[in-house]
Structure 1
Amino acid sequence: LHWLGLSTITYRIPSDAPTKTRSYEAVYRTRHGLKQADGETVGKTQRGRLDANDIIAITNSTLRPELNNRLVVVMQYRPAVNAYTLEFPAGCIDPHETNALASGLRELREETGLTAKPNSARVAYQFTYEPGISSSLGNAITCEVDLDAPENKDPKPELEDDEWSLQLYLLPLEGLHRTLTEFAAKHEHVLVDSRLGAYALGLEHA
């Protein structure tokens, strides 16, 4: 395997059962994870490993009011599910990186060509990706994108070879859940990522 590793985890359960020690199979990323200045991996502990970021970016625009208050969304082909998925911009923390927030904003620029408004970004919370099978942890990073800023007038993504299918969408926050479900229903082989779907559903019920 090139990007992933398989492991068997042995753990103990607080129980009166005869067998308190059990085994569990898990997947982990082998080439990514936040690094400290001394090179040690942060988060490779009993609680998982921080190795990726999702970016929740909201647009601002005075010159183009029709693009104000929109969510930055990407769609790309995911071979594991043989479908295109609508997602937050996201990416792994590169091995040399020591700042998770800076890593997330780098991914936003590379995937969308957009630059976050200075001092608007923060780590909102940390989450698990697939806790039933993976040790991978991610940061949810929120930020604002000023579409009137010179650097965002003509955004040009810097896509990697495996991001050949990536497309950018700016979706209105109002009615986001309906927009996503209707888009997926109208296009064959399109799915909504669970984190984006949960965010949209939360807005609807707020």
Structure 2
Amino acid sequence: MNIPAVKVSESVGRETVSTVATQFGIKSDLAAGPALALGASEGTLLEMTGAYAGILNGGSSVTPYGLVDLRLLGETEPLMGTGGGINERVIQEDAARQLVYMMEKVISEGTGQRAQFGGRQLAGKTGTTSANKDAWFVGFSADYVAGVWMGYDDNTPLTGVTGGGLPAEIWRETMSRVHEGMPLNELPMLAPAPPSNFT
């Protein structure tokens, strides 16, 4: 999966990839070079969850918000405020639906299978950083987006933890409770057309 991601990033241009990420709410510094396509950047869980909400929302960015202002002790600027919602279109709706399709495959057939629950269509992405210092899972149903990060503040490596393991399981346990009694709404997916030279 890494080689196609790098090829697409190089084809459309790293500047375009960086611009789209920024428009989806990624404010952290982005990696330079081909590593940009591999998730080598240090985005926050809140930024990633907001970006995934934009993909689910048909390609329009979403600013995450809370029911109350959330501030770190001693800070005046809220980490997450009560204002937020849907913003400008970042990518075409069909492109967003194709991303949802590919991310659904991560859970139904790939590294995120431990996130599955209740026969519900789900989409997401696992992540494990170099030297296992961070492991995360960010995913969504047709109704909710959530993310789980695991790691130590001092960057001590995790032992035996990958994004498709414990983070995906925590995500599943949380989201299955959130969805209790809810209808099985379908994800807004569109299978990408195979290349014209595909045989």
* TM-score category, normalised to shorter length: under 0.3
Looking at secondary structure, tell me which structure has more strand per residue: 1
- TM-score, scaled to structure 2: 0.24
Looking at secondary structure, tell me which structure has more helix per residue: 2
- TM-score, scaled to structure 1: 0.24
Larger radius of gyration: 1
Higher relative contact order (CA 8 A, sep 6+): 1
